[in-house]
Chains A and B, each alone.
Chain A
Amino acid sequence: MTTKRKHPVFIVAKNLWSGYRISLIAYWSIFTAIFIGIQLGLPIHLSKEMEIGQGIWSGAGISPKLYLLILGILLTPLSLSSFVSSGITRKHFVGGAVLFSMLMSLISALIMTVGFPVERLLTEWFGGQEILVKPLLLQVGVEFFLGFLGYFAIGWMIGSSFYRFNWQTGIAVSILSLIPIILIEMVGGTGPSELFGYTFTMPSMSFIVEMLLILLIAVIVMTINYGMHRTVAIKRKLI
Chain B
Amino acid sequence: MTLSIDIKGVGVHYGRTVAVENVSFKLEGNKIYGLLGRNGSGKTSLLSVLASFRQPTTGEVLIDGKITFENAEIMSQVCFIQEHGHMSDGYSVKDAIKLAASCWPNWDEQYANYLLDLYQLSQKKRISSLSRGMKSALGVTIGLASRAPITIFDEAYLGMDAPTRYAFYEEVLRDYMEHPRTFILSTHLIEEVGNLFEEVLILDNGRLLLQEESELLRQRGVTITGPAERVDEYVIGLQVLGEQTLGRTKSVTVYGELSQERVNRARTDGLELGPVALQDLFVHLTKKGGEGI
Docked-complex contact A86 and B99, CB < 8 angstroms:
yes
- Name the B residues within 8 Å of A86 (CB-CB): 99-100, 103-104
Which of A2, A18, A89 meets B72, CB within 8 Å? A89
Whether a CB of chain A sits under 8 angstroms from the CB of B119 is no
Which of A2, A88, A239 meets B89, CB within 8 Å? A239
Whether a CB of chain B sits under 8 angstroms from the CB of A6 is yes
Docked-complex contact B53 and A233, CB < 8 angstroms:
yes
Classify chain A: how many residues form its interface, as a range: 20 to 34
- Name the A residues within 8 Å of B103 (CB-CB): 5, 8, 11, 83, 86-88
- Tell me the smallest distance from the CB of B159 to a CB of chain A, in Å: 15
> A87-B77, A233-B54 given as contacts; is B88 within 8 A of A79 (CB)?
yes
Docked-complex contact B86 and A2, CB < 8 angstroms:
no
Q: Which of B27-35, B105-113, B207-215 is the contact stretch?
A: B105-113
Whether a CB of chain B sits under 8 angstroms from the CB of A65 is no
Q: Could you tell me how many residues of chain B have their Cβ less than 8 Å away from some Cβ of chain A? A: 38
Which of A1, A19, A82, A87 meets B79, CB within 8 Å? A87
Whether a CB of chain B sits under 8 angstroms from the CB of A120 is no
Docked-complex contact A234 and B72, CB < 8 angstroms:
no
Within residues 63 to 82 of chain B, which ones have a CB less than 8 A from any CB in chain A? 69-72, 75-80
Q: How far is the CA of A14 from the CA of B102 in the complex (A)?
A: 10
Docked-complex contact A82 and B70, CB < 8 angstroms:
no
> A1-B108, A237-B84 given as contacts; is B89 within 8 A of A85 (CB)?
no
- Name the B residues within 8 Å of A231 (CB-CB): 55, 69-70
Whether a CB of chain B sits under 8 angstroms from the CB of A134 is no
- Name the A residues within 8 Å of B95 (CB-CB): 18-19
Docked-complex contact B55 and A85, CB < 8 angstroms:
no
Docked-complex contact B102 and A85, CB < 8 angstroms:
no
Which of B53, B54, B87 meets A82, CB within 8 Å? B87
Docked-complex contact A88 and B86, CB < 8 angstroms:
no
Docked-complex contact A5 and B105, CB < 8 angstroms:
yes
Q: How far is the CA of A230 from the CA of B70 in the complex (A)?
A: 8
Docked-complex contact A78 and B76, CB < 8 angstroms:
no
Most chain B beta-carbon neighbours within 10 Å: one of A4, A19, A83: A19
Whether a CB of chain A sits under 8 angstroms from the CB of B203 is no
